[in-house]
Amino acid sequence: MLQHQPSRTAEYMAMFRASEHAKGAGRRVFTDPLAVALLPGSLRLSAKLLAVRPVGEMLNRYIDRQWPGARTSGIARTRLIDDWIEESIGQAEQVVLLGAGFDTRAWRLAALDSVKVFEVDHPATAKVKRERLQAAGADLNRVTFVAVDFEINDFEQRLRDAGFDPARRTIVVWEGVSQYLTGDAVCGVMRWAGRLAPRSRFIFTYVHEGAIDGSVTFDGAEKVIAKVDGSGEPWRFGLLPGELPDFLRERGLRLVSDLGADQYRERVMGQAGRHMQGYGFYHTVLAEVGDA
C-alpha cells in the first residue's frame, strides 16, 4: 500500500460489502450498515446509489466488467468467513484480525460480543478507519487496535503489548493480505499462527501462484492482475493448492478446508453462484493448530 494513505483494496472491499447490504433484507447474504461510512467521498455517493433500482444493478454490472469476479468473490468469502468464525467461536477466547482493513465484523457479528477482538493493520489504514467509524457513531471500544507494518515491525510483540495472550485459544482471520507480502513475511505469520494454543483456528486467503506467474490460465485473471499492478498494491506471493497441506503442516497447522472462489460462491449463493465467473484463482482456507 502507499505510505500515509489507507489501503485502496480495503476501500474496494468495503464498497463490495456495501453493494451487498444495499440489496435489502431477504436478498443479501450478510448485513453491513457501516460499510458505506468507511468509504471516501468519491465512493460513498456510488455506494448510496446501489440501493436505488435499477441504478444499483447497473453499477454492480459495471464493477463486475472492470474487475471480473472480484465483487462476487469478496461477498461470498465474507459470508464464508463469518460462518467459520461463528462455528468456531464457542471454543475461542480471543479473535485477531490481521491486516484488518475496513473489516466490520467486530460490529456486525453478535458472536464476537463475548471475546476480545484485536485488529492489526498498517497505521495509515487504521487511523482513517477509526476516524470514519467514530464519525458514524460506532463504539470503538469493541476493538483493540494494533498498528503494525508487517514488512517492518514485530507484530507479535506489538500484539502482546496490547494484551494478546498466545496461550489462549484464538481465531485468527487474515483475509485479503498474503498476496501483497513477501514470502518471508507470509511464512513468518504462519509460523506464529502455528505456535498458538492447540485447536486455535487460522482463517486466511491466498492467490493461486499460477495466476501470478502466468503459468495457469484463469478466467479474467489477466485483466485483474493488470489493474492491481497499476494500483500501487501489486500481488507478490501465491501458493499452489496441491502443496498447501504440507506447507501448513511444516508450520504447525492442519488444513481443514480450502475452497476456491467457484466453490465458496456456490456454497454461499447456491444455484446463482454457479453462474458467476472470475476470480477462480482466489482461495479461502480454514486451518487449525495441532495438539501439542
Which has more confidence, 142 or 154? 142
Asked if 8 and 232 count as a contact pair (C-beta separation under 8 A), the reply is: yes
The count of C-alpha atoms lying within 13 angstroms of the C-alpha of 26, restricted to the half-sphere facing its C-beta, is 0
How much of the chain exceeds pLDDT 70, in percent? 98
**Mean per-residue pLDDT for 25-42?**
91
Going 4 to 124 to 207 to 73, the CA torsion angle's sign is: negative
**CA 261, CA 266: separation in Å to the nearest integer?**
8
In one letter, which amino acid is 252? G
What pTM does this model have? 0.94
pLDDT(113) > 80: yes
**CA 240, CA 206: separation in Å to the nearest integer?**
9
For residue 4, what pLDDT is reported? 56
Tally of CB atoms within 10 A around 168 = 14
Please report the beta strands in 21-158, taking only residues with DSSP state E, as ranges in sequence order: 94-98, 116-121, 144-147
**Mean per-residue pLDDT for 94-110?**
96
In this structure, what are the phi and psi dihedrals at residue 116, rounded to the nearest 5 degrees? -85, 135
Tally of CB atoms within 10 A around 157 = 10
Asked if 117 and 106 count as a contact pair (C-beta separation under 8 A), the reply is: yes
Cell numbers standing for residue 100: 484488518
Asked if 109 and 85 count as a contact pair (C-beta separation under 8 A), the reply is: yes
For residue 152, what pLDDT is reported? 81
**CA 238, CA 195: separation in Å to the nearest integer?**
22
Which has more confidence, 58 or 103? 103
The count of C-alpha atoms lying within 13 angstroms of the C-alpha of 11, restricted to the half-sphere facing its C-beta, is 19
**Mean per-residue pLDDT for 120-148?**
94
Distance in Å from the first CA to the final CA of the chain: 37
For residue 1, what pLDDT is reported? 46
